[in-house]
Amino acid sequence: MYWQEKLINAVKGRPCLWDKCDENYANKNIKADNWRAISEEMVEYSYSFDEKTCAMKYRNLRDNFIKLRREHLALPSGSSPKAPPKWPFFRLFDFLSDRSNAKSSVDVNVPQECKVKNNVVAAVSSSRQPPAKRRRNETTISKIDSELEKVEQALAAEDAKDEHDYYGSSIAKRLRKLTPHKAALVRVEIEKVFLNVEYNSKVDIFDL
């Protein structure tokens, strides 16, 4: 069994890391505990992945699944069904597809049924409380809603990224480790490669 399969299955068993309707989805402490537990599982399988590495590797796998699924579902009208992507880990992400008809983990919005359920619970609880306590709870709920909105916005920005964003981030991290002079030289070489590819010819950037 590949490490990718072990990691995906470990995340699958912890809905708080991927199910937006899970009661602990917005709880950062519980999420951190779960990533720590996953890291310990991976170490038992002889993969030395810390929590951050597990989260990063899973996100990369998930993003690749999302990309392939979007391409798979993008069928022109009247076309024959496509065969499933040949990526060996595609089927392992069925739990994301099943969550809301193959869409919820791609969609950056909280599913409507979650919102309805939360609103009903809040309304029932509020009606049973005295006015003063109700006002305090309304303030608390407002703060929680504000924090959840921030989480949703962060998730939206994360889901909007593709492999080029992640590659660009990795290049930026490596550039920051260099001296300004060496970083400038690397950037010049990168620009030369882009120019050569875009114009299909050898270009010396210093001749421009």
**What is the chain's pLDDT, residue by residue, as a tens digit (208 residues)?**
789 999 999 999 999 999 999 999 999 999 999 999 999 999 999 999 999 999 999 999 999 999 998 888 886 666 676 777 889 999 999 998 776 443 443 333 444 445 544 554 444 444 555 666 556 666 766 777 777 777 767 766 666 666 777 778 788 888 888 898 888 888 888 888 877 777 776 655 455 4
Same domain? For 157 and 174 the reply is no
Residue 51 has a pLDDT of 93
Same domain? For 103 and 156 the reply is no
**Whole-angstrom distance, CA of residue 86 vs CA of residue 88:** 6
**Whole-angstrom distance, CA of residue 21 vs CA of residue 100:** 11
Same domain? For 91 and 2 the reply is yes
Same domain? For 144 and 73 the reply is no
Residue keyed to tokens 């590495």: 53
Same domain? For 44 and 80 the reply is yes
Same domain? For 77 and 130 the reply is no
- Tokens read off for 129: 């409380």
Residues 110-145, buried b or exposed e (16+ Cβ, 10 A)?
bbeebeeebeeeeeeeeeeeeeeeeeeeeeeeeeee
Same domain? For 67 and 135 the reply is no
| Structural domains counted in the chain | 3
Residues of the domain holding 59: 1-107
Same domain? For 1 and 102 the reply is yes
- Tokens read off for 9: 């299955």
Question: For 26-64, how does the pLDDT look when each residue is reduced to its tens digit (9 = 90+)?
Answer: 999 999 999 999 999 999 999 999 999 999 999 999 999
Same domain? For 11 and 103 the reply is yes
Cα angle 78, 81, 87 (rounded to 5 degrees) comes to: 145
